[in-house]
Structure 1
Amino acid sequence: MLMIDTYMMNDTREICQELQDTYAQLTNLLVFVTNHEGQLITAPSNIDDSSVFEKYSSELQNMFKTEIDKLQGIRQTILSDQWVPGVKWLIAPVSVDQSDTGMYVWGGILIQQGTLQSIITHPNYVQPESGAPADFIELMRSWIQNTGEISPDQEIFKREKITKFAKALSLILKSSFKENRLTQRLNALNETLITEQSIGNPIEEITRAVLASSDLADVFGFALKTAPGKYTIMNSMGMNSGTLGGSTFHEGEGFLGQAVLSPQSSRWRDISRDPRNHFFQQNGLDSVYEVQCFPIRYENEVYGLLFGLSFKERSTPSINPQFEETMISLMGWYIGNHITYEKMEKQLQRFKPLIELSRMIISVQDIQRVMFMLVDMSLNLVWNPSASIVVHRSSEDGKIQMVARGMQSPKGETYAKDIARRYLDNSDKPAASSFINPTTPFSLMLEYPIVYADRTRAVLCVAVSNEQEGEECREILSALAMMGSVVMKSVHDRQQYLSNSNRFAHILHEAIREWNVAHYQLTADAQKIVQEFAMWGGISKEEADVIGRACLMSCTDPSMLRSFPHLFQQEAEMIEDYKHIHDDQSILGTGSYSKGGQIMALAFAIATAGDHDMRVVNDLQINGVDQGLVSQFRLFVLSRHTLQTEINLVEEKAPAAKALTAEGAEGRGLDAIVKQFGLSPREKEVLELVVKASSNKEIAATLFISEHTVKNHLTNIFNKMGVTDRAQAIAAVFNKSIG
């Protein structure tokens, strides 16, 4: 068996670790990789403190080795009991070379539905008999207690993801292994083939130089595979080479077509009356006597052919024909290695952006944004990109969404309708694989169905220049489409969840109207204030949605809300906290209640005040609510008001007091802060944008500086003012504006 370090080194190790981190986050499992001796190959992912793996590395290695010895010969992912029956680990084999399994992916822990109680009462859980370290046993107990039971569907999902991670890991490591082995073999061959004159020359020139110096044949040719089963003669050299250059042939067709099917070199003599000679006659070579062919291959993959043609039987043979044949055979092998190396480089270059995309795309919560990312990434994964399109149907209203690059109307729309007819209209029977469509108006199109919720919901289509490129890109684009399926399903499920939550919340809110119209209006006003606070920049839209629903349902018993499975758990907690804040103002202190409950208290206070909210906000003091949040809310309420009055400029006897507008208050507060703490002009500009709730990115864009420079300015501002965050800085400005 090959040593692990042979194929897992440098960038490859980093890529594998990043891929593992992504799958661990996706499955919510502790994931790590060991070799067949139980030694850790990667750092454990999805664990807060991995020191126990370092502290007890020998003991844990022995545990893992014992389990691996039991699993000799496994070829698929298994679910194994560990320590206590019912405590499951997923173990997936990773095969790197043609010998036995070299690595194992471990994913855990899984507690199957209905087994948690029997686990924690098992004798081995209470008094462990295994030789595992006490710290590790305690850590296992903690995991078991904090790991919820999973349904059979969830178990299948996690098993599939761990299996796919193991397969992806195998593919990456195989590529790395082949790359390292190829490098060693190419270096050895370079010492034989490359002279000082050929250093730096492309492979075609080296091939031409080697063949031109040989007297084994009169004409030499160099053909490469350009499509599955199809070859093109790229170069021909020698006197009377005719029109061979650019000609094509297929596997099994004529002498050349038969030669590419043979693993060894081939030779035919006295071919003038052989029907297979017709190919050469078509290209102006009427008197070929002998054909010698040397396949360009690496392992079992054929990339092309080197061949030589002689016009007559040689009366004076080459000084060393065996050496010439060996040299040309080596040349074919060398070219095959070179092509394989380039292909693996391309695949590795494709994997890196795919892994980077996987980290970003899992956080996207908008189907159309996912479509844009799939289109952009698909064009980056194809070497000669021309066009890409994603067609998506989310409803049955007869409309589809289309995102495309490199396509113009009406061809793009016509093709999208054809995709919808062939895939989406029959979505009850999901398509399971990709399809190369040669009949489109955009050359060859690779079409990948995107399936989720048991239906074909979308199709990713990418144009390629030829079938050979399509074959090379098929697997990586399939992985991209699979990633799109996972993320679109996540977005779809979240949208369904939000739709149900909002619908039920409004039903419960409408029920209030029947018995308390005033409270019905008050809760609606509070929700509106929360939404305005989000638009102002105080909280995110997602937070505002949850807090707004909690406002609408504030009259509902939280215990009843918790009876809705997976719907109103956050809202119930916020309502409880809000009621505690509202009902018991004798308790001092802050920080013991959720942020949502505190914002509800502030929103209802402002909603209750109605037109007198400015008077209330100046004296606003609610026990249990963070003062920084109160100060932020004051500035928000101030920004809701616009000053409108008339000023008499005739016979004005005394200057009238200026009313305080939001802009004036901010300006007066800023000037006072600048003077008190000695802020620079640039620091004042940054603080002014902070008060207006601008993000670091927005500040950088406004002032034409980098985000890093913005962070440096904020650090200096906070140090000078003696505050620790934005909220405290905003509060200080507001207090100066009204003080």
Structure 2
Amino acid sequence: MASRRSFFHEYPANMGGGNAAFTNPESDKRGVLMHSRMESIQEIQNVYSLVTDLFIGIVDEKGDSFTPFSFPQTVEIGALTYIQDRLKEIIPNSCHFEDSLIYDFIPGLKMYIIPFRLPFQRTFFLVSGFFLEEGTKHEVLNFSGKTVQDTSLFPLVLQAKEYSEAAKQKKLRQLENACKLIGQLWAAEHERMQYQKKMREMKETVHFLSDPQADVDSFLTHVQKRTDALDFIGFAVKSEANVFTVKYFHSGTDRSMIGQKFMLGEGFLGQAMAAEKFQIWTDIQEDPRTHFFKRFGLLPSSLFCAPVRLHGENKGLLFGGSFHRAHWEEFLVEEFKFLSSLFQSIYLISSLKNQINSQRIQWFTMNEILRHLANTTDGEKLLSIFLDMSMYLMESPAACVVFRKNRLSEQISFLSRGMDETLRSVYQKDLESRFFTKPFHAAPFTKLEVYRFNDQWFLEYPIICQEHFYGILSVAVDQPHPPQKSKECLITLANVCGISLAMAENGSEMNREHEFYHFLIDLEQYFRPDILHHKRKAKEIARKFCRSLDLNDLFQDMIQYAIDLINLDSAIIQKYFPNKKIQKYIEMYHYLLENPMDMKEEKIPLESKIIFLAFQYEIDPESVRQLTDQLSQAFILFLEGLEEEEKDEMTPGKTDEGKGEDGNVPHGFLQSVNLSRREFEVLDLVLKGASNQEIAEKLSISYHTVKNHMTNILQKLGVSDRAQAIAKIYQMGYFPKLD
């Protein structure tokens, strides 16, 4: 084989698949990464050119070269130029094909054209040749000598080999494998660059949002300067019912849209407000809904819109677009969603600045950003992000996390940043020995711990979600008493870590309400354990009282949920817990705190009344005993029954010869069902056909106490009603002794 030579020409200016979404000071570094990526693709192309003994190149939809062509043999410059020019004619006419094809470059001289996509959604073509059908070389040589004017192509025909059908298919499979390998390489590099880019933007934006002077207008200015993909960006606020006014608009020096109004449902902007969700429109030059922009001489080709909500209400609309791009790649859409999330945070911060101090602003901003970025169920990738964020926000030299990917798993994983190999190894073993010596599901501790190891202080906090322990997040600190700001930061990160690992374990995305609910419970466990204790006791009483009233499980669950939220500010409840019933129950609970004598009012939901009785009894039982309405009196009688029940509870015993007190109880019957003496007496009367009222009179206990005993009996037997309970007892061999 002749010496191999590839002809390298200059890369296209937009070789990454279009203009990058953002420009920043690290563009030189990205250029180096791009060059490295292209070199790797070129090497794959070169290797497959040698393996297949064919030339290989990658071109775009116009036929322009994306990579320099690789030839297994020396080829003349004139032939290369002819091939490139000819491909610019062939590819645009073939780009509608989705499958690989064999094409006549000139009659009889064959080449492969294989379409494939790269992550930024552009189609490229791997072109490769040349070869001949079996027995056609002489004929093709004669034809090319007579019809092809460029004599430089003649040696390519002469060098082309004849392939059988089996050989052609083998070469095709090899070339398709090359496409897959290039696609995988590009995807991996693309994902890595996107991750690095997102981390840079996270740090940059956190720094920007931490600036006390940061506001909506400065944020939009910041975005306009760093975003190449957007020619304009603006924000419209709700000025009156169903009317919105453009308050901020950035498009170079153009501010003509500021102060302009649009109605709900009018044009693209009004439609986005009506839909109440993030939306993208492309190729809209001729769409009549652009009339709002055209009035000011603006002709957008593509547009995104993101409604901004505060306390459950639409407050405005973030919008932006391009005058030149008719379509946006998928990664750009993700960038705009990211920007919208950050804008939501800065708008919220601006609204809160007059109410809370700067320390809480920074804490809440960080939490908002982390929640919006946790959009993957890859647990390790999320933890890597949290480690980087913890080091940045806490200005720490090192951080690590030791965790179980699955809370039931025995396998321990460890991730670290900023630690040398020696420290990493010994500290990992130390953490595992202290917290993972045996399987457990409860957290080893629930407060921040400052731990000294090898002359370095570490701030350690458990990763918990829904009372399940996943691991330990640890950040290096420079003193044994770190500032409160660092502690709050680590608590937030650890709780979000727990939510993220639970999401990854469940294999599905938790909704925002569920995340924030458990997030608040975790924080309350740390900051207000006394209130959390009262809530748990109140929830226990409320559930038992609901069962005594034969209220269904959904009714009980709503009450349990509401009790956990009753001490939150109403604005927080409206923002993060959109369930209108829950909001109503809590609102009326607070009304009853001020007006307890209105317990008799029918307009107040039963749920609110039970919440009020259960929680107030736990806080101030005497105030509940003084209420005279029917429900409150029933509640007091129920509590007296509970006290009586607790006095009656005792461990079931054995009589001689393994029989119960009735003389015909099978051996171990009471123990097998774990019934108390009183519960057995109630069950025995049920088997004899007595009603709840008759049982109450027979045993001289209250009707509510009987209902409580029945609830416990059904639970212990694992049945749902009396009929099933009777059938199960008979199956176990017990029959009541008739009087």
Question: Same fold, TM exceeding 0.5?
Answer: no
User: Normalised by the size of structure 1, how large is the TM-score?
Assistant: 0.30
User: Normalised by the size of structure 2, how large is the TM-score?
Assistant: 0.30
